[in-house]
Amino acid sequence: MTRYLIHRSLFLLPMMLVISALVFVAMRMIPVDPAELVVGPYATAEQRELARQKLGLDKPIIAQYGIYLLNALQGDLGRSFKSGKEVTALIADTLPNTLLLGSVALTFAYLLAIPMGVLAAIRQNTLIDQGAMTIALIGISVPNFWLGLLLILTFAVGLRWLPATGSGTWAHLVLPSITLGLQYTAIVARMTRSSVLEVLRQDYVRALHAKGLERRKVVYVHALKNAVIPIISLMGLHISAVVGGSVIVETIFAWPGTGQLLINSIIGRDFPVVQAVLTLLGATVLLANLLADVLYTLADPRIKYSAHR
Amino acid sequence: MIGIVIIVTLCIVAAFAPTLALHPFAEQDLMRSLERPLTPGHPLGTDVFGRDIYSRIVWGARVSLQVGLMVTSVSMAIGILIGCISGFYGGRVDLVLSNLINLVWGFPLILVALLFVTVIGPGLTGAMIATGLVIWSGFARIVRGEVLALRSREFVVAAQALGRGNLWIIFRHILPNIIGPVLVIASFTMAVAVIIETSLSFLGLGAQPPTPSWGSMLNEGRAVLYRAWWLATFPGIAIALLVLGFNLLGDGLRDVLDPRMRD
Amino acid sequence: MSSNKRTGRISRRNFIKSVAVITGSAALPGAALRRAQAQPVRGGTLRYGLSAEPRRMNQLNTTWMTDATQHLYDRLVTRSPDGKYVPHLAEWSVTDDQLTWTFKLKPNVKFHSGEPLTSEAIKWWFEQARDPKGFYGFKGSYAGVREITTPDPLTTVVKTEYPSAGLLFILYTVYSSIHNPKTYDKLGKDAYGVNSVDGTGAFKLKEFTPGNRLIIERNDDYKWAPPFAANQGAAYLDSIVYRHFADDASRTAAIEAGDMDIIVQPNLADVDRLKQNANFTVISKPMPATRTVFFNSEAKPWSDKRVRQAMAHAIQRGPIIDRLLFGHGVAAHSVVPPMFKEMFLADTATYFPYDIRKGKELLAAAGLEDKDGDGFVEFEGKVWEPEMLVAAVSELNQLAQVVQAQAGRIGIKIKITQLDAESVNARTLSGNFGILTGFYLWDGPDTILDWWMHSGNIPSTNRSRTRDPQVDAVIERMRRAGTMEARNGATLDLQKILHGDLATVIPVYHPLDTYVISKKVQGYTPNPYTLYPRMHDVWLTR
């Protein structure tokens, strides 16, 4: 296990380099001259050339990437072309909001989904089961951008219970977290149901039953404990998925997070910001994957990892 | 069962779109814009340009299914190839590929798609390439797992002992055995592909006007949500229905083909 | 300066706010004016929904400015509600030959840092503005400045090489805001206007978090309000929080849900409904802006003016205004809006009326005919599919789709490509496009004609790549005009050539400038000659 972990961790650094290099190259492939973005459309050819030199665009791309890395290691990610703010400051401003939204959404999803899944499993093939699973299926199938619109229309504009957009109070969190979390509620509920069912079918649970243990105890203590293992292990994956989902949800609700920062920067071709945020996101995904594996191993001691699977 | 009904119905709608549609999808009649549903000639009303929403939804089914099919078949090919190589050859090849698979699998699809569309430029083709390039990892994971399990099975070992080539073994013994799980994943992939395409079109980066993508219809409906609810309602229902259909189909296939598989 | 006004690109509409003339019938509810009579209360935070993202607040280093710039800085000159240029930071006089300008500063004016405003800051500003190597977008307007001297701490004397009737105009815009040179040099041009500013305005910069909000707070020392302001002391509001909503529908939802106190440019489909709502006041006024279609007049076959004229005949403006804008716009036949009475050529309304038959005839005359009978004309043997670029902004996008359908009526099959603003910009600069939907918002339409049509401005502001010796000659006459009358005459001549013959740009409509204001906002009166809404007299009820 330890050896496996070390091995995986050793992979993190080169993978990060690969991601940042890929993003760097991708950004340079966009048919918009970064110098153009900095000087604006009314600059003379001479000014444009000065900007190119200032940005180091006259150097070969490998040298540019090297300079970028050196600066990045010293904590300098450059300035946004658009607002002129330091990229590090932009990320520091927005990241806490995204983390808040994401964690509330995931907590909401898990708190709702696990009881829902367990209930559906122990009442398998009843109306409760079918109802819960239908809701879950709809939750997976409704695109979040549509769900967001419907929620704003109903609860913010129609009933005026909750604010439509912005941030600051807990009330602002409600609609975006539901929009972001519902999909995961649905996924987790379905997964909980099937893993509880699987555990219930297993021989040792039947044996416990046969031993005369109360059904309730069997379900809650033994079955649930074992069923939750794969669910928890997927949490790591959901973390990175939530980051992706937040891009659209933050845009709809004007939530000042990193997701909105990213999409605005992609649309505005604000390369320094896109570069930094995507690299950061890559790191999050790698760590989340690692976390998922570790949790999985810890939760299920039957799984043994070798360095080379 | 319901899944099959939904999918078959939508496939029929897509196939016979020219017959079923009442108007050409791009036909504008500005002076008849925002007509309510059930207006004569416009069962689901008209949009801002006076285009018939029913006809656009019918044509939109074709767009969504085409995108879904293209993306799924391309990503299936990539996924099976990488999954097979990774699972079958193992060792260092597997170490590199499985890390790649995990990375791509874990990376939020919509972000990668967005980045690709930014580089290639907006449009359905761009959206399809972008989606296909990121969605294959679902296939690769499953295939790799299955191949890993199959590789040590008696018939494969026996075939190797007989000196059969790797390719022969893959085609003869491995592929036929993974068709079940691959079909299940394909169905879920269709659902995800439809969501990604509609999301990109919703953001204006997918289908270009006047192509009737449900995502761009939804986006157009957003501006007149309060004045004309039907613009954003019907395409939304259509997307949800199609995605639901593929999810149900996937569930059904899994129950039939591979009861062991879980989400 | 800005992309939008000069280039006809897009939509960041509040980049420069209008000097609009409120026509008699325009919806300026008397109630808003009457309420302003009540006793103002100090305090409170105004929440303001913007349609354009705030950027650097330093005109020397940006291509656009945000509403807050109006309040952070003052200018030497301002414009009163009746449109006259009046002194703000300085009284001015000009010699009879129009070559020597003297600016006398108000005494005891202080920057936010506490330092006094002196003529050194004014000299510094003129030097920055005219610097031929500078990035400043309006350096052309200052190009005639030859010599700047400061005889005493409150006096600045500016000598120009030739008379320039346009100087007062540029001095009044936010693009001539006055800064403290010491703070500017200390911070450097990259950080100034982002992390901090040092102006003399009624509000100070408190917080700027791009993508989230911009907060400005009252300058308690402010005693130099423009002469026409009711409130001559510090502002009533404690602070203003600006938030940006890219999407009209979200911005509208935000004020309806009570998250905002005032928004600019609501979703047009909702304006009538908002007018019925007792919680809001809706104010619309003409906007010095025009939505247009541009052709790349160097790309074949658009290079044949008959093809462009054919398109001009295909545009049907009535349904666009009725249905796309829900009536919130005015048909445009000239790039110059009719509100600029002395500059507007009324004859333009009769040029190239909607006429499908004539459009087809012109195309046929240019050799573009539908020979294969598919309803679309062919060019060089195959169906002609000119590409139309459109920035991903819903209003321009809708216009593009209608133009696409209307062009189809005369047999032109347009292909639309939606891009982000920056990519549209890059593509038009390189000349790789056929048609473009565009927009300007700027209170000097005469300047727009210069930027859009002089061959010397290809490609950056003359996006249609109009290249016509006659046009160039008229524009040069306009540039050197010593009086507004002479300048206006040139403007009229230009409209005749552009809209009556060349048709490299087709005007489609003039939008309206619309604000939705919560009833708790008091004292807000739309001053037609204000770049951005003035918030000096505004207060909030408890």
Q: Are residues C251 and C373 in the same domain?
A: no
Q: Are residues C271 and C294 in the same domain?
A: no
Confidence of residue C6 (pLDDT cuts 50, 70, 90): very low
Q: Is residue C3 part of a domain?
A: no
DSSP β-bridge partners for residue C271: none
More confident residue, C475 or A191: C475
Q: Are residues C497 and C447 in the same domain?
A: yes
Q: In this structure, are residues C403 and C376 in contact, taking their beta carbons and an 8 Å threshold?
A: no
Q: Are residues C473 and C526 in the same domain?
A: no
Q: Is residue C25 part of a domain?
A: no
Q: Is residue C265 part of a domain?
A: yes
Q: Are residues C110 and C82 in the same domain?
A: yes
Please work out, in degrees rounded to the nearest 5, the angle formed at the alpha carbon of residue C529 by the alpha carbons of C528 and C533: 70
Q: In this structure, are residues C241 and C68 in contact, taking their beta carbons and an 8 Å threshold?
A: no
Q: What is the value of ipTM here, to two decimals?
A: 0.81
Give the gap in angstroms from C-alpha C374 to the nearest C-alpha of chain B.
Answer: 15
Q: Are residues C536 and C402 in the same domain?
A: no
Nearest CB partner across the interface for C404, out of B205, B210, B227: B210
How much is the pLDDT for A168? 74
Q: Which domain holds residue C175?
A: 37-279+519-540
* Alpha carbons C269 and C261: distance in angstroms, whole number: 20
Residue to substitute from A140, A300, A305, A308, interface B, most B β-carbons within 10 A: A140
Residues of chain A with CATH 1.10.3720.10: 87-299
Q: In this structure, are residues A167 and C211 in contact, taking their beta carbons and an 8 Å threshold?
A: no
How much is the pLDDT for B77? 92
Give me the sign of the Cα torsion angle C317, C323, C325, C329: positive
Q: In this structure, are residues A219 and A82 in contact, taking their beta carbons and an 8 Å threshold?
A: no
How many domains does chain C divide into?
Answer: 2
Domain residue ranges of chain B, discontinuous segments joined by +: 52-261
How much is the pLDDT for C414? 94
* Alpha carbons A96 and A101: distance in angstroms, whole number: 9
How much is the pLDDT for C11? 31
pLDDT tens profile C45-86 = 999 999 888 888 998 877 667 888 999 999 999 988 777 889
Average pLDDT for C372-377: 90
How much is the pLDDT for C469? 95
Confidence of residue A213 (pLDDT cuts 50, 70, 90): low
More confident residue, B260 or C137: C137
Average pLDDT for B77-88: 91
Q: Which of A24-28, A274-278, C392-396 has the lowest mean pLDDT?
A: C392-396
Average pLDDT for C448-464: 86
* Alpha carbons A61 and C72: distance in angstroms, whole number: 41
Cβ pair B115:A278 closer than 8 A: yes
Residue to substitute from C63, C136, C213, C458, interface A, most A β-carbons within 10 A: C63
Cβ pair A281:B114 closer than 8 A: no
How much is the pLDDT for C63? 64
For chain C, what percent of residues have pLDDT higher than 90?
56
Non-local CB neighbours of B257 within 8 Å, separated by 6+ positions? B180, B181, B183, B184
CB-based contact, B262 to chain A, within 8 Å: yes
Cβ pair B240:A30 closer than 8 A: no
How much is the pLDDT for C22? 33
Q: Are residues C302 and C373 in the same domain?
A: yes
Confidence of residue C30 (pLDDT cuts 50, 70, 90): very low
pLDDT of residue C14 exceeding 60: no
Residue to substitute from B93, B115, B254, interface A, most A β-carbons within 10 A: B115
Q: 3-state class of C216 per DSSP? A: strand
pLDDT of residue B3 exceeding 90: no
Regarding the domain delimited by B52-261, which CATH topology (the fold level of the hierarchy) does it fall under? Answer: MetI-like fold (1.10.3720)
Tell me the residue type at B92.
R
DSSP state of B47: -
CB-based contact, C131 to chain A, within 8 Å: no
More confident residue, C125 or C259: C125
Cβ pair B121:C400 closer than 8 A: no
Q: Are residues C366 and C300 in the same domain?
A: yes
DSSP state of C39: P
pLDDT of residue A171 exceeding 70: yes
Cβ pair A29:B103 closer than 8 A: no
More confident residue, C490 or A55: C490
How much is the pLDDT for A233? 66
pLDDT tens profile A96-154 = 999 899 999 999 888 998 888 888 888 888 888 888 888 888 888 898 889 988 888 78
Tokens describing residue C64: 């656009």
Q: Is residue C13 part of a domain?
A: no
Q: Are residues C462 and C498 in the same domain?
A: yes
pLDDT tens profile C400-426 = 999 999 999 999 999 998 877 777 877
Q: Are residues C309 and C254 in the same domain?
A: no
Average pLDDT for C100-114: 96
Q: Are residues C170 and C301 in the same domain?
A: no
How much is the pLDDT for A309? 33
CB-based contact, B123 to chain C, within 8 Å: yes
Tokens describing residue A11: 């992979």
Q: Are residues C533 and C502 in the same domain?
A: no
CB-based contact, C461 to chain A, within 8 Å: yes
C62 contacts in A (CB within 8 Å)?
Answer: 40, 84
Residue C459 burial class via C-beta count within 10 angstroms: exposed 0-12, middle 13-18, buried 19 and up: middle
Tokens describing residue A10: 């050793």
Q: Is residue C18 part of a domain?
A: no
Q: Is residue C1 part of a domain?
A: no
* Alpha carbons C224 and C247: distance in angstroms, whole number: 37
Q: Which of residues 177-196 of B touch A (CB under 8 A)?
A: 191, 195
CB-based contact, C8 to chain A, within 8 Å: no
CB-based contact, C153 to chain A, within 8 Å: no
Confidence of residue C104 (pLDDT cuts 50, 70, 90): very high
CATH 1.10.3720.10 fits A87-299, yes or no: yes
Residues of C with CB under 8 A from a CB of B: 247-249, 267-270, 273, 319-320, 322-324, 392, 394, 397-398, 400-402, 404-405, 415-419, 423
